[in-house]
Structure 1
Amino acid sequence: MKFTLGLLFCCLVFSCQTPPVEFYETEVGLDEYRLEKGFELQVIAAEPLLKAPVAMDFDAQGRIWVAQMPGYMNDMQGSDEEKPVGSIQILEDLDGDGVADHTKTFLDSLVMPRALAHVYGGLLYAAPPNLWFVEIENDEPTNRVLVDSIYAVEGNPEHQPNGLLLNIDNWIYNAKSNFRYQRKNGVWKKEPTTFRGQWGISSDNFGRLYYNDNSRQLLGDHVLPNRLVRNTYFTPKVGVDQLLTKDQRVYPLHATTVNRGYAKGVLNKDSILLKTTAACSPLVYRGGVFPESYAQNVFVCIPEGNLIKRNILTFTGDSTIAEQAWEGKEFLASTDEGFRPVNLNNGPDGSLYIVDMHRGMIGHHAYLSPYLKEKTKGNRLDTLTDFGRILKVRKIDGAQKPLPDFDALQGIELVGLLAHKNGWVRNRAQHYLVFKEMKHVLEEVQYVAQDTENEWAQIHALRILEAWDELTFELLSEVAEKSKPQAIAHAIVLMESFASTENAKNAERLFIKLLEREEAAIDLYLGSTLGKWMAVDNDRFFEPLMMVVNKHKQNRIVIEAVLSGLDGEEDTFLKSLNTLTSFNESEFGDRLSRIIENRKSGNVNQIFSRKSLAEDNRTAGAKMFYQICASCHGANGQGIDGLAPPLMNSEYVADAKRLALIVLHGLEGPVHVNGELYDMNLAMPGLIRNEDISDKDIADIISYVTNAFSNRPAALKPERIKELREVKSVSGMEYTEEELNGFVK
């Protein structure tokens, strides 16, 4: 990593007036980066302006706001992660050359901030455990509102909600969460949604959501959000949270340091990573400037491989399929092991923006294996801490000009932007029209909603009218009759709020006509809505719903849409279904019966009973280890002379059952570890007599210790811990080494 730093001053050195404003323009060498032909890579901001950035967003003027997490993994123990050293910064380009040269602090003294979004004229941000919203006045926060006090438990950011994506349906979605948020009439709403991914979330032009986890580079929903979870007693299995590609291959330019690199299939013979182990932050490219073949491609961060992957989506109407763009190479890859892309963003200028945390250690201390700890120290990656960059990928001679300040745009100008080729611009224009309630352009928005030449603009307009409560059954019917399938799908969804006996006859006529079009996307959303119309008039809508079922009885996604839409009408539908002698799909009938039984027994979809995300077991175990065990065994499990033997690579740590007995009941007398005798004339007390430590706590400690100090991570269920509480030593107190080994054998 090489860089030069230029320091300029905007006023005279000897001035006794206001202190000088410092301009930093950092030049970072990019020789170690390989980017696909036709594109160029530019450094927009770097250290010292940034330190450990993890997320970014653009404000109304196109400035970049960054959430920074400098307390994350400054050493092997993650010592600073609970310190209030995080911040949200505003990057500025004061000399107008396209590169940030100044930064100002918007919020500081935050503990591990991980997400931010410019919405409703203010800033929504996550600083666990809270989700906050603040208004902005002269780049200062004001009127802070607590949106959610249990947004996330404190701790490991790898497994806490993040993302804050404002979707086309006017809801804000998160990764690693089953809740979505919206503000209407000044009141914040929170409601359940599908649980999605791990770090980062994105949406396509239609409004479907995409996410991933460490080992699966691209997951997603085949349908619009919440269409398959409207029935509290039904849990979809195939329509949401699906693996979109089985191909997890990665193609780094060099051997990289990864966790579990010793395990079979992780590295090849040259120590090159074979499959992703830390994928995050997928982004659907919607900038409208890259070549047409890049439209709605999904880019994925692979920070452990120092690269960014490109996937091509295929839309079938009722599902989405992804495949990697190339075999043997990546869209962007580097031999700089500090390059850690952790977030991607579409920009106002149509470019692709990369948040590069530029940190040596990106895995949380709760998950570090002995192998990775050794490799990290050997490569001195633990010393790479005070860095951070924002990079931009632009098409050579292709980026559009930045737009004017959104706050200064008039309503008619915003309506015109609904047809913009850049999806970021369209989304922002929609949101401004919604939250500023610019109903003086109602007629213009209605016109766009009926303009079949641009279905994306139509959808944006429909969702604006929904937010304004200005939709009508007649307008939606016209859109559904004359438009392309994706706009029709949204119209069908929105028409549900007009289900009534007054509209039943016209709706039936429309639905039958739409079924005759033989379009999978239309049939899918008809299947999801006809159950709601059956509640109004069962006799009228049973037949069209059966048309959907018969046409798609082998299509599990469509069937899930039907079952979700039948919320509360299952008994009525089943009775009507049993009168049909020609229908013999027993699997469908069985699934319907199970929903009815779930309703009777109160067995709900888990998202409706989960109030918040529980802390993952290894992070919880790490906290308890540092509180209870590290004072004797050392933070790195190296042992402390005169107090306790080492845990690192101990044969007792490698066996989860023996370890559980030691943690529960204790160990006394001499003990051999790695062939060496430790005779400290001390006894390690067990935790069994501590009433504040539960079976789950013991299980969490074991999960962490076996992961951190052996190459054989293991886990025991709390039920097994409960059983082992009763497995006493001969003395009824601490085990001896001989007795412990005899038990296991």
Structure 2
Amino acid sequence: MPSSASYLAATFALLSLHAANAAPGDKVYQSDFLSKEEALESIELPDGYHLELLLSEPLVEEPVMTAWDGNGAMYVVQMRTYMQDIDASGEKEPTSIITRHVDTNGDGTYDKHSIFAKDLKLPRFVLPLDDRVIVGITDTLDLWTYRDSNGDGVSDEVEKIYEGGRRGGNMEHQPSGLTWALDNWMYLTYEAKRYRFTDGKFVVQDIPRGSGQWGLTQDDWGRLYYSDAGGEKPAITFQQPIVYGALNLSGQEESGFRDVFPIAEVPDVQAGLRRVGPNGGLNGFTGTAGQSIFRGDRLPEDLRGDLLIPEPVGRMIRRAKVDRSQAKTVLRNATPGTEFIRTRDVNFRPVWTATTPGGQLAIVDMHRGIIQQGHWTRRGSYLREVIQKWKLDKNIGKGRIYRLVHKDFKAGPQPRMLDEKTSELLAHLSHPNGWWRDTAQRLIILREDRESVVPQLQEMARKDPSELGRLHALWTLEGIGNLEAALVIEALNDSDSIVRTSAIRMAEPFMATNDPQVIAAFESGLPEDPEMLVQLINSISASGTTAPEWLSLSKLIEEKFGDVEVIREVLRLREEVTRDARLAMERQQEGAQFAESMQRGEAIYRQLCFSCHGEDGHGTPIPGRAGAKLAPSFTGSPRVLGTGDSAVLVLLNGLTGPIDGKTYEGLMVPMANNDDQWIADAVTYLRNSFDNEASMVSPERVAELRKQHAKRSEAWTVEELAELEPEELAFNKNWKLSASHNEKELKLAFDGDDRSRYTTGKRMSPGMWVQIEFPKTTRISGITLDTTQSKGDFPRGYQIQISDNGKTWSDPIAEGAGSADLEISFVPVEARFLRITQTGNDRLYWSIHEMTLLGKAL
């Protein structure tokens, strides 16, 4: 592989040649900042389409997402401290804002602007409710509502509605995209949780899996589409609602779907050389963000239902057809060999798309030079060289929000839902623009007089001419809490699959209570609709029912359709969820502290680590490169096992260079801004998953290592970690062993036979000790006391001390409670004498079957 310097030289030479040979009229933009007119002109679009500039700097600077309230006011999230230089200086200063923009006369132009919320630390999402909006910010899982009580466009009432606690982690790896989905639950990326308002109360529920990175969208069926930029996956877990588990199927993308066709010839790719194409630009998805299913009604009909995938590194937006057949979705490029939207302008950074109230498409262009966060632009990185060469760090503080329009369509009218009566909102549940349907459903559920429209909703669910109107009427009733079993049974026989399948989801509470009416509805046999069959399996399992009628129905589906790909994979996923629950119970039996740490660690792994290291911990394969992985396997890794110190240090400072003789494309970035418990949980999970088995890592040990290496800023190499990782000190006959009780048997603790043992010969009491005198000063960093063959004989408490002369002893360098397989680690110390003192009381003897010391002879 060539060096980055030689590669860059070749790349820039290629680009110079490309520019020199450009045909007359071609524009080859470099890093110079274009005017708003030039930037707009540079964007390639299909025939009939064009972009309108809605907002730009100085009104919006560093915009990352947008959303609209029921009256069409647009809220724009602005990360104003994001990468203001190549080192991310001051990035987490709380000076970001959310702005509010109003079209006062309905002409399509936002003419009234205000700073709705300020002094925020990198806000991540805004979700309008009624006259409130939910806001989330970086480094916390807390949720707040902001409200403007006097109509001046500035929030003056702030309420914390959920105490989620500190999040931490790299800012690119934190929740975003809070979405009120069809099922009336709110979902967001990463977190294995969902949220809901039930009778005005905020409810939180765990779900099997979190997913995604930046952005989230849903289709008309309520299936959520996530993306994973770090794993180079433009769309994931869209086959079924994620509440049933993260289902991905083989072949869910057409062959070559991840190949991209940008015209920007800039090699500023986080993944390095393997992601640079022949023209010097991006060759495959890597930075996907802010995707959306277009559900509007004021663009050509063939765009409706397509998935729009922004790729800010490629300066382009992919349009994907969503082909659904036999309960399986396959994505394909709607514009083969090219992209729906693309430009050579190096500052075009589309990071968000959304269907507008007017039925068109909004595109948020962060419009800047650097798009990757500072962890990936560190000194010595490939990306830093490119940024400096192209002067990308000079383009900051800009922003563009565009509206995609078509020559044959005009925007729809501006909504006034916040001013309408609840009864008037019903008409919008069948609106051809999905934004109107979603917003009306949400507003009705949040209204205090929601019960007043129940009869009309019931009538609409039965007779509305639009299947989408019937669908939203049913889900609105579910959200209000007035969905009756009889209406669900009627919906099971609806003429449209989308309604029938949702009716099965809505039947889950009735399954849980073994409602005889709902059971009877399925007595005639299995439905023929594949969508209903898949949903039936998921709903029976999710309901938790134990009724034999439901369990036998699930078994029948398995017997008749178990060889069908989607059914087979859904059943496999259900077994995986069951296995995970059983594993959690087994961990609980090993100790509440261990179980809780493993649970938290697993959540961290599934949020952050799996995209590079894989679901199985063996490394994510790189498409198109046989045997190549984004990151190394954790199974049996010496950096994961041993004392665990190496894994902690990697999380604190990152890891660079070859690993066990192999070079990996993924870059392990520091996670030091997470707290000690977070890091301890992550490492404990790695040490006890993927066929690994090792001791817990404590937050106290993390704190010790953090303090010990506080001055280090660069990433570790495996060679440096190996030097720090202690080795097992082989027993030396020149060690002098002594003990407060039964000294002559202490040698049995070092004989390599775990059937023999040292024992005090007397019941445990405080002050009993064993001691080792080394022939010369020795570095020690850990001790293992194994009593698993006599599980009750472990020390009830312990403290470790050292001495240079055997007379003057240090304060305890480690102390705590004992266990049958006690592993004690501490900051390496140098000493001639080591003493372990038993500090508890018990009627049993203190025994040691085997003692192992970790360290290095000096």
Pairwise TM-score range, normalised by the shorter structure:
0.7 to 0.9
Q: Would the alpha carbon gap of residues 491 and 269 (structure 1) be closer, same or farther in structure 2, given more than 3 Å must change?
A: closer
What is the CA-CA distance between 1:131 and the residue it aligns to? 2.0
Asked if residue 66 in structure 1 is aligned to residue 76 in structure 2, the reply is yes
Q: Would the alpha carbon gap of residues 343 and 594 (structure 1) be closer, same or farther in structure 2, given more than 3 Å must change?
A: closer
> Aligned partners of 2:33, 2:317: CA distance in 1, in Å?
21
Residue pair 2:251, 2:330 contacting (<8 A) in 1 also: no
Asked if residue 191 in structure 1 is aligned to residue 197 in structure 2, the reply is no
134, 139, 149: which one aligns with 1:124: 134
Where do 1:247-326 residues align within 5 Å? 247-260=257-270, 262-264=272-274, 266-326=275-335
> Aligned partners of 1:653, 1:602: CA distance in 2, in Å?
33
Residue 212 of structure 1 aligns to which amino acid in structure 2?
Answer: S
Where do 1:691-730 residues align within 5 Å? 693=703, 705=715, 722-723=725-726
Alignment-derived partner of residue 528 in structure 2: 518
Alignment-derived partner of residue 241 in structure 2: 224
> Aligned partners of 1:3, 1:280: CA distance in 2, in Å?
23
Residue pair 1:90, 1:106 contacting (<8 A) in 2 also: yes
> Aligned partners of 1:247, 1:170: CA distance in 2, in Å?
32
Asked if residue 112 in structure 1 is aligned to residue 122 in structure 2, the reply is yes
Give the TM-score normalised by the residue count of structure 2.
0.64
Alignment-derived partner of residue 559 in structure 2: 550
Alignment-derived partner of residue 184 in structure 2: 170
Report the secondary structure of 1:258's partner residue.
Answer: coil
What is the CA-CA distance between 1:419 and the residue it aligns to? 0.9
Identity %: 23
Asked if residue 146 in structure 1 is aligned to residue 155 in structure 2, the reply is no
Structure 1 portions without partners, runs of 5+: 5-25, 229-235, 566-587, 618-651, 664-689, 707-713, 734-742
Alignment-derived partner of residue 427 in structure 1: 438
Structure 2 portions without partners, runs of 5+: 1-31, 589-594, 610-654, 662-669, 671-699, 731-776, 781-855
601, 623, 626: which one aligns with 2:586: 601
> Aligned partners of 1:237, 1:720: CA distance in 2, in Å?
42
Asked if residue 99 in structure 1 is aligned to residue 113 in structure 2, the reply is no
Residue pair 2:130, 2:418 contacting (<8 A) in 1 also: no
What is the CA-CA distance between 1:492 and the residue it aligns to? 1.3
Alignment-derived partner of residue 643 in structure 1: none
Residue 228 of structure 2 aligns to which amino acid in structure 1?
Answer: D
Asked if residue 457 in structure 1 is aligned to residue 473 in structure 2, the reply is no
Residue pair 2:253, 2:331 contacting (<8 A) in 1 also: no
484, 498, 502: which one aligns with 1:472: 484
Residue 172 of structure 2 aligns to which amino acid in structure 1?
Answer: E
Alignment-derived partner of residue 79 in structure 1: 89
> Aligned partners of 2:518, 2:101: CA distance in 1, in Å?
52
Where do 1:652-667 residues align within 5 Å? 654=657
What is the CA-CA distance between 1:601 and the residue it aligns to? 2.3
Q: Would the alpha carbon gap of residues 261 and 500 (structure 1) be closer, same or farther in structure 2, given more than 3 Å must change?
A: closer
Q: How many residues align?
A: 608
Residue pair 1:113, 1:126 contacting (<8 A) in 2 also: yes
Alignment-derived partner of residue 673 in structure 1: none
> Aligned partners of 1:616, 1:207: CA distance in 2, in Å?
25
87, 95, 98: which one aligns with 1:88: 98
Residue 321 of structure 2 aligns to which amino acid in structure 1?
Answer: I
411, 416, 435: which one aligns with 1:405: 416
What is the CA-CA distance between 1:149 and the residue it aligns to? 3.6
**RMSD of aligned residue pairs (Cα, Å):** 4.0
Report the secondary structure of 1:57's partner residue.
Answer: strand
Q: Would the alpha carbon gap of residues 501 and 33 (structure 1) be closer, same or farther in structure 2, given more than 3 Å must change?
A: closer
Q: Would the alpha carbon gap of residues 716 and 328 (structure 1) be closer, same or farther in structure 2, given more than 3 Å must change?
A: farther
> Aligned partners of 1:149, 1:592: CA distance in 2, in Å?
27
Residue 117 of structure 2 aligns to which amino acid in structure 1?
Answer: L
Residue 80 of structure 1 aligns to which amino acid in structure 2?
Answer: G
Of structures 1 and 2, the one scoring higher in RCO (CA 8 A, sep 6+) is: 1
What is the CA-CA distance between 1:241 and the residue it aligns to? 14
Q: Would the alpha carbon gap of residues 404 and 534 (structure 1) be closer, same or farther in structure 2, given more than 3 Å must change?
A: closer
What is the CA-CA distance between 1:146 and the residue it aligns to? 1.5
What is the CA-CA distance between 1:409 and the residue it aligns to? 1.6
> Aligned partners of 2:344, 2:134: CA distance in 1, in Å?
36
Alignment-derived partner of residue 15 in structure 1: none
What per-residue deviation string (whole Å, max 9, x for no partner) do you get for residues 290-338 of structure 1? 2222121000110011111111111124222111112221111111111
Residue 523 of structure 1 aligns to which amino acid in structure 2?
Answer: L
Where do 1:200-215 residues align within 5 Å? 200-214=215-229, 215=232
Residue 382 of structure 2 aligns to which amino acid in structure 1?
Answer: Y
> Aligned partners of 1:486, 1:156: CA distance in 2, in Å?
39
Residue pair 2:253, 2:332 contacting (<8 A) in 1 also: no
Alignment-derived partner of residue 353 in structure 1: 362
470, 494, 507: which one aligns with 2:518: 507
Alignment-derived partner of residue 622 in structure 2: none
What is the CA-CA distance between 1:522 and the residue it aligns to? 1.1
Q: Would the alpha carbon gap of residues 526 and 593 (structure 1) be closer, same or farther in structure 2, given more than 3 Å must change?
A: closer
Report the secondary structure of 1:170's partner residue.
Answer: coil
> Aligned partners of 1:106, 1:723: CA distance in 2, in Å?
55
> Aligned partners of 1:442, 1:607: CA distance in 2, in Å?
45
Where do 1:325-364 residues align within 5 Å? 325-364=334-373
Report the secondary structure of 1:125's partner residue.
Answer: strand
> Aligned partners of 1:94, 1:501: CA distance in 2, in Å?
51
Residue pair 2:247, 2:570 contacting (<8 A) in 1 also: no
Alignment-derived partner of residue 813 in structure 2: none
Alignment-derived partner of residue 648 in structure 2: none
> Aligned partners of 1:131, 1:260: CA distance in 2, in Å?
31
Q: Would the alpha carbon gap of residues 414 and 717 (structure 1) be closer, same or farther in structure 2, given more than 3 Å must change?
A: farther
> Aligned partners of 2:299, 2:177: CA distance in 1, in Å?
24
What is the CA-CA distance between 1:593 and the residue it aligns to? 9.2
> Aligned partners of 1:185, 1:111: CA distance in 2, in Å?
31
Residue pair 2:260, 2:283 contacting (<8 A) in 1 also: yes
Residue pair 1:110, 1:127 contacting (<8 A) in 2 also: yes
Which one has the largest radius of gyration?
2
Q: Would the alpha carbon gap of residues 75 and 731 (structure 1) be closer, same or farther in structure 2, given more than 3 Å must change?
A: farther
Alignment-derived partner of residue 573 in structure 1: none
